[in-house]
Amino acid sequence: MTGIFGLQNVNEIHLFKPKYRRGECLLEIGECLDRGWTGLGYKTIEFEDKWKDYSGYKNAHFLNSSTSGLFLTLELFRDKYGWGRHCQVITTPLTFVSTNHAILNAGLTPVFADVDETLNLSPASVEQLINESTVAVMFVGIGGNPDNYREISHLCKRYGLRMILDAAHMAGTKTDNSHYGTTCDAAIYSFQAVKNLPISDSGMVCFLEEDDDHIARKRSWLGIDKDTFSRTSSDRRYKFRYNVEYISNKYHGNALAACLGIVGLRYLDEDNNRRRQLRGLYTTLLSGNENIHIVQHCTRTPHSSKTSAHLFQIVLLRCSRDNLIEEMNDRGIFPGVHYISNLQYSAYKGFQNSCPRANEYSNSLMSLPLHLFLTDDDVRYVARSILEIIANNLA
């Protein structure tokens, strides 16, 4: 079959495949090896500065994962504001479990609001849940989509709540050359291996307040007030004395990982532009089919908004997702699911489950392959396969 779908690609097409500029990465890493400094400091500081220049955040602290950033943020805010177990954080069930694990691990209570067709938190559902015990809202921009962010931000300001942005998918989601999230209390990014800015496993926490950034740097290094690099770099003499101000964990990033981030950041806008092109082609090929709903991005944002396009998601309306995935696998195509509602996991039994749309999407969402090694013909093959399989199964 030819036409707008082109020719079949016989190679396996996987959901994700990270792209690294090998030569540039090795040059950056080589500097660390030559200097003999591969841990916290030097390159981690350089990456933080470059991220701030790129994103518009005033503060940025490089960590070993975005999960660590979520834990660190909630622990810090819990102690800063005196939050107890009765304090509630409104959150989404349609996310990776680290989002809600962090709330529970901080000794706080997650309260699950529903999502709408954007897959992000529904502002109406959030507002209905706000009460005297509510202290914060955790907003997740699924797939890089900023829709409803502004509405949730306005709710937080109106009710005096902290807003935390789980921006795991949002590296490069911007408006007017500034990242979404620069005005919320904390934003946490993922640079895990399959994300848009792929680093083996790393993250960045960006606090609104400089004091929070200072405290986070201590808490991410076991509560120690001076890290090894700062105790060595001032006059090149190692100072062994320090104070331990907090009982905390080891969350900070390292120089070798930062090297991958420094290189990847040079190409992030270019790479995201290609991802948006792939999303556009998928949209053209799959639009108009009554069995598929395409999850659109930036439908409720300023015209200048750009999505990171981390995911291309569809909702299957009249066919079995499991059967479709199985038949796509037979054709060498390996899609994914983002996400199953956390409330369907045994660890979250007992929490209120008044999230009908999230439950519905859990059974019908599918993420199509989207990465920088895909060709237009690959996308045509994936789209044609989906339409053929659906048509055969419904015939």
User: Is it true that domain 3-10+269-394 has CATH number 3.90.1150.10?
Assistant: yes
Euclidean distance between the first and the last CA atom of the chain, given in angstroms as a whole number: 19
* C-beta of residue 20 within 8 angstroms of C-beta of residue 235: no
Q: Are strands 61-63 and 109-112 parallel, antiparallel or unpaired?
A: unpaired
CA distance 103 to 100: 5
The predicted pLDDT at position 239 comes to 63
User: What tokens appear for 239 in the block?
Assistant: 């100072």
Pairing status of strand 365-368 against strand 312-316: antiparallel
C-alpha 120/C-alpha 165 separation (Å) is 12
Instruction: Pick the closest to residue 62 from 203, 230, 227, 220 (CA basis).
Output: 203
pLDDT, residue 84, reads 94
Here the tokens at position 389 are 């399989």
Instruction: State residue 182 phi and psi, 5-degree precision.
Output: -70, -10
Tell me: cis bond preceding 251? Omega within 30 of 0 counts.
no
Q: Which helix (H) or strand (E) holds 79?
A: helix 66-81
Cα gap 383→283, rounded to integer Å = 9
**Token pair in block for residue 177:** 């050359």
Q: Evaluate whether 154 touches 106 at the Cβ level (below 8 Å).
A: no
User: Which are the contacts of 157, defined by CB distance < 8 A and separation ≥ 6?
Assistant: none
CA distance 242 to 92: 40
Q: Give the DSSP H/E element, type plus range, for residue 72.
A: helix 66-81
Residue 353's pLDDT is 86
**Tens-level pLDDT at each residue, the chain (395 residues):** 344 444 444 589 999 999 999 999 999 999 999 999 998 988 999 999 999 999 999 999 999 999 999 999 999 999 999 999 999 999 999 999 999 999 999 999 999 999 999 999 999 999 999 999 999 999 999 999 999 999 999 999 999 999 999 999 999 999 987 899 999 999 999 999 999 999 989 999 999 999 999 999 999 999 898 766 664 655 556 566 789 999 989 999 999 999 999 999 999 999 999 999 999 999 999 999 999 999 999 999 999 999 999 999 999 998 999 999 999 999 999 999 999 999 999 999 999 889 999 999 999 999 999 999 999 999 999 999 999 999 998 86
Say if residue 147 is exposed, middle or buried (CB neighbours under 10 Å; 0-12, 13-18, 19+): buried
Query: pTM score, two decimals?
Result: 0.93
The domain limits of the chain are 3-10+269-394, 22-266
Looking at CATH, the fold of the domain delimited by 22-266 is given as Aspartate Aminotransferase; domain 2 (3.40.640)
Q: Which of 127, 139, 253, 134 is nearest to 201 (CA)?
A: 253
The one-character DSSP state at 347 is G
- The reply to whether 22-266 shares the fold of 3-10+269-394 is no
